[in-house]
Chain A
């Protein structure tokens, strides 16, 4: 990545952060002045407090909005190019995400009351097609209090959802989950030979033989290693011609961070997050000749 480009982004980022800090401080001072004046019934300082708070709010909104547009520009100008260099057959659409239908095809993620997805990636690695995006799933909670009802949302999934082409023919469906349970009926718990694997993952299949066919000792070991390399709760669902993988790690990927300089370490982190896709394809041997469509 060009150094000059990075310097400009960091300068703009610092300006946005400056506005956010000034705005935050102004807002805090304004509120304190307003509260003290209100308690002591001093009208002139009360007005000054309101003015300071409003000016603070304006700075804060301005800073947040320029940070947000900077983030979008960074994804479009920098990340898109970087991803193309790392994986030539890739398309990155930061504002777009996997649709709900694709996410729920995993058949173990609960339907959300509020659904959000972004950072859509689509492409091919070693002839294996994939799509992925960041997904946030929230559940609505209603609390009844003496002052009325309060509605709030609780996030139960924040992480990434991947869909890979899986061309090995098998009967029924299979799920390997660290948490959660299959949503459809017809799944039975399957115990495999590996005690460690059974301890770490729960395996559900509509047919016992499918579990043993797909989860060969090599693949079980590969899943184990993937789980170690990628923190968070992992879920795999083999269904039809696809393998769905979810990582619930409470992380929003490909986002620049407030008050942290865009440096090589951050760029490497983005690279690592992108190459998770390649890691899954290679480790699970999805590029194996046996798996390829005839």
Chain B
């Protein structure tokens, strides 16, 4: 029969506690890393949706050019990156790009109102529908990104998990903001 002294018992308890803490630390660290990956994935989803929307709006501008050359050229100038989103673009840049595209879409709506025959153009109608679809994809990507950001930020600011977040230098992530008024303006009517 083994006899464990009081000191030995304390040692076993402390050892056990240490193992539990280490396992907990690893668990939290892994979940933070996984969530960070999800945030990155969601951000690339936003990039894809923004690019898709940009392509659609470009096509739309080409269609409207024949009807209102001056207006569409003015609209084209609004867009900062005429060749799409640069690889090193920050989230703020993307928000700005998003805003610019909203302006273009609003502009197109104004042009359409001026030229009723454009409204009846089949290519235009199809593009309008495609743009509305890309808009929905973009909103979904934005919401997924923000939902993931909320999850990771909740862990980062909540004690005791915040200790692990600080230890691995995990910082709060920024939300992808879209002004409500801007989103309302680009709604395509059918």
Contacts and interface: CB of A to CB of B under 8 A. Distances in A.
Contacts, number: 34
B136 A216 contact: yes
B140 interface: yes
A145 interface: no
B147 interface: yes
B190 A212 contact: no
Interface residues of A, number: 12
A24 B178 CA distance: 70
Interface residues of B, number: 19
Contacts of A288: 190
Contact of A212 (B38, B133, B147, B151): B147
B105 interface: no
A218 B143 CA distance: 13
Given A212-B140, A213-B140, A193 B147 contact: yes
B136 A208 contact: no
B136 A192 contact: no
B147 A209 contact: no
Nearest to B125: A289
Interface in B103-157: 126, 129, 132-133, 136-137, 139-141, 143-144, 146-147, 150-151
Contacts of B132: 290
A240 B146 CA distance: 27
Contacts of A193: 143, 146-147, 150
B190 A191 contact: no
Contacts of B133: 290
Interface of A: 191-193, 208-209, 212-213, 216, 288-290, 294
Interface of B: 38, 42, 45, 126, 129, 132-133, 136-137, 139-141, 143-144, 146-147, 150-151, 190
25 contacts: A191-B147, A191-B151, A192-B147, A193-B146, A193-B147, A193-B150, A208-B42, A208-B144, A209-B45, A209-B140, A209-B141, A209-B144, A212-B140, A212-B141, A212-B143, A212-B144, A213-B137, A213-B140, A216-B136, A216-B139, A216-B140, A288-B190, A290-B129, A290-B133, A290-B190
